Structure 1
């Protein structure tokens, strides 16, 4: 964390080595707009920064080079452009790895925008590790979060496909169960009215249940009780859902029941009494 103490940095670079900023400033991985206070001088005298921008150049522990200009502030306590005292804010996305920046290639500089650029002596900057990403504007943080979002979306899409496939199989099973229920109800009705079928009749009845007939005409003409029709077109007359589907006919002459399963696995039914068909009713209408 930056301290409100100005560190002397001479543009003439009188020192032979570098200045260690650690006693005055340490960054942390993920920091955004961390501040360090520096006093730029020349031959030991304050340097007027009126005509200059203050920048920073450095190489982090991973070998990545950074260059930033325009982050100098003069609105902090003690700061003065004419006296060379400046608060420098490290921009978001600069402290990505912990460790010591290379002091041989890490320094501050002034730039007049017209070709004059003067650097300070090298600076040793230490960056502390941090498990919490603080600089939400940092490019590395954005990249990691974006990748997590992409991975999560891919996983969700895969699971959705699995669920959709399972739902389709369950719906198909539901249609089969409903057809069996209709068949059982028909048998029970026959038993209740003493209409016990012969062996030959039962075999014919089972054959009709286990087989289906393609149909592309008016559904009013589907009158064979015990027959399953594969409706091949949604445009045939008296089709309630206007889609292809499966039609199951049960009952007896002059008292028939038609159940139609459309492509959305919705069930429609209607009855015929004395040759007249009732309106189609969507099963979900019954609450």
Structure 2
């Protein structure tokens, strides 16, 4: 079986996927791609690209297994964990449900908020500086009309001042709420979110690794959450993932991601 992971800088969902390679010890060929040049959409050798083309996560990592594209960081984490013996998912059915509900909260509320703030601060200027021809070439292979539109909007930074203010405030609230959720979850003295270390820890840290750059002071007065983040960061798998960075500050590397939650 051939497994190739195409990934961006170790931040957000790419950090989750890279850390899971280390956690599982699977033989995965990790290949960096430039997400902001659209390289995710020109991956060679795909026999089944549907998940890559229509994934909701946006410009996240792509795991290619014998020619089939697999996407969405939580699903990739589960796939790799189950391939390696299922060490990072609770065996108890209720505890497993709790973990999945936690991950859904992160991917549906925290991830779009982090992506909005990250793209506003860091990706929009990069895309805006692109020549029109270069930008058009980058988005030409994108199959999803929704994702292509997010690229266009990210480059144009075209929201009205009022809409930007509302989105910034809402996203800041949701990102802060995610850190507070971690703080509250650890109130009983546990070290990891589900008791034992799990996919929930890896996925949550992936989206919160750059939180301080997006919401300065977000870890202040949340000592349990800050200590948890330090524990996750010090895991050999996460340290190895971060060591793959090709830029000085991978936590500022963003690309058009999950659509901002329109349902509140």
TM-score (norm 2): 0.18
Q: Which structure has the greater CA radius of gyration?
A: 1
Query: Which is bigger in relative contact order (C-alpha 8 A, separation at least 6)?
Result: 2
Comparing both structures, which one devotes a greater share of its residues to helix? 2
TM-score (norm 1): 0.17
